[in-house]
A and B are shown apart, each in its own frame.
Chain A
């Protein structure tokens, strides 16, 4: 699977409170959550973002709360994948579990700029910055996690394995 889109770039320690502020957590409706995605650090993101966009962050992306509403809001807002130097562990799990592709690459995270056009190949982990012409190799997922991603999330993975049993 390949995705291509323009980049929205953020810094280090993007926390789940800015991804989706708690004042909007009185709903679990993904579409409603997406309307407020990134609101506290980028007030117009939800209005500007187009389907297939790519989000790039720095270190410890998604730190803080366990709210799955955070990757869910990003996914439903139209972001096809997130590239960061590193992800906070609960956000990492949640993204995989809901089928939002995430990729770790220090160089890509540092060098890709806001607005760059980037393509990502999830099978090979190759990130290609079309704007700059530079290519990066993301850290590979363990086999088991790849299987969850391929099943499009944990729920589908469990369903599939249950049927096999």
Chain B
């Protein structure tokens, strides 16, 4: 039948190969509806309460696998108010009742998409759904990973399966090496600026080419994390030595390495020269409103946030510290640094980065999504402007509907904190 004909004719993308494997099929084709087995189902303190309601409606009294569900209360934690505390309590009690192994309490947690790879819960070849849009982060490890809603999470927890429409893919061939201070954030903002916030709608973004070797795992996490900001179903990197080294250091889970077929079909192909990408800032109120740092003009700011599932990892912390070292945060600016996990927090402390941040006049927070989604820990007043290493700059995202969020790398964020306006690290050096 149709499926068999496709087996003979068409090569598969990396995503399609993982999905075919997850569905127990030899081959799949774009547009095909399939039922996949899940290696991990993820939720947080906002989406899990709704999932629990739906789970109970389905009428299941146990989850499909207590080891394949991860629940991370990270958005409004440590609980910001009574209602949030009630939500987390509901989630905690559900996890306890179901015997869910990977529930991460305050003090042992992190921002979910930094935490899950660090805990070794995502490995190459996995099929992962998460009731959080930035679940696409784990494509950096060569997994298929995508965001869903609470009902999908509930169905996933109950049955261990999800329905998927096999996506088409866009190929991004990366060449060369990023310049100093240019990181994964600039690469993905550059791409979103180029293709738009729906430029990859329903599609996979597959990153390939020799330039991949010049991107660290932290760069790749950031790039895949923001695939959703281009509307993509998933972003994915090939598995190379860096990936395998990361997996070896973090996970004991068995993994499968998949590669795209040579004759895989892509609906579009872009060639990106990493050495030509400049530091990039996304202006309000869409991540596609990008400008390179030399085109931002004089934009005074009130707040800087360095953290989140996009840029709260160790390299981000080190970059921010390198720039802030020996400088002070501008008198009109509040600079809030949020290491994304307990482990990153401890490493920052051990490497002396907190001394640098505190001496500079920045605040250091416990891990939380907090200000990224306007939850707590740095909400903006009317008319305030923030440079943030987070992922969204929609109307009202970090507070008042008349506040503004400018998305940028940790390097830009740290330099802006010192100068009190949106600026790059070169300007800080010039000012010495």
Please report A residues at the B interface, Cβ cutoff 8 Å: 13, 15, 17-18, 21-23, 25-28, 40-41, 59-60, 63-69, 72, 86, 88-90, 93-94, 97-98, 142, 144-145, 153-155, 158-159
Contacts and interface: CB of A to CB of B under 8 A. Distances in A.
B319 to A, nearest CB: 27
Given A28-B87, A68-B50, A88-B198, A154 B152 contact: yes
A-B complex: 3 closest residue pairs judged by Cβ atoms: A94-B149, A26-B83, A68-B149
B132 A66 contact: yes
A93 B131 CA distance: 12
Contacts of B131: 66, 68
A124 B155 CA distance: 29
B11 interface: no
B374 A155 contact: no
B396 interface: yes
Contacts, number: 130
B397 interface: yes
Interface stretch (B51-59, B250-258, B303-311, B331-339): B51-59
B87 A93 contact: no
Contacts of A41: 395
Q: How large is the interface on B (under 10, 10 to 19, 20 to 34, 35 or more residues)?
A: 35 or more
B147 A21 contact: no
A158 B155 contact: yes
B373 A22 contact: yes
B409 to A, nearest CB: 21
Contact of B396 (A28, A40, A88): A40
B154 interface: yes
23 contacts: A17-B395, A18-B396, A22-B373, A25-B46, A26-B80, A26-B81, A27-B83, A28-B50, A40-B395, A40-B396, A60-B201, A66-B47, A66-B131, A67-B47, A89-B201, A94-B150, A144-B163, A145-B33, A153-B151, A155-B155, A158-B155, A158-B158, A159-B58
Contact of A17 (B47, B135, B159, B397): B397
B225 to A, nearest CB: 13
Nearest to B85: A26
B300 interface: no
Contacts of A40: 395-396, 401
B46 A67 contact: yes
Nearest to A27: B83
B128 interface: no
Contacts of B87: 26-28
Given A26-B84, A66-B132, A68-B149, A155 B375 contact: no
B133 interface: yes
Interface in B143-187: 147-152, 154-155, 158-159, 163, 165
A94 B76 contact: no
B49 interface: yes
A64 B133 CA distance: 7
Which has the most chain B C-beta neighbours within 10 Å: A66, A88, A159? A66
B197 interface: yes
Contacts of B133: 64-66, 90
Contacts of A18: 394-396
Interface string B31-72: 001000000000000110110011001110000000000000
Nearest to B31: A142
B418 interface: no
B213 to A, nearest CB: 31
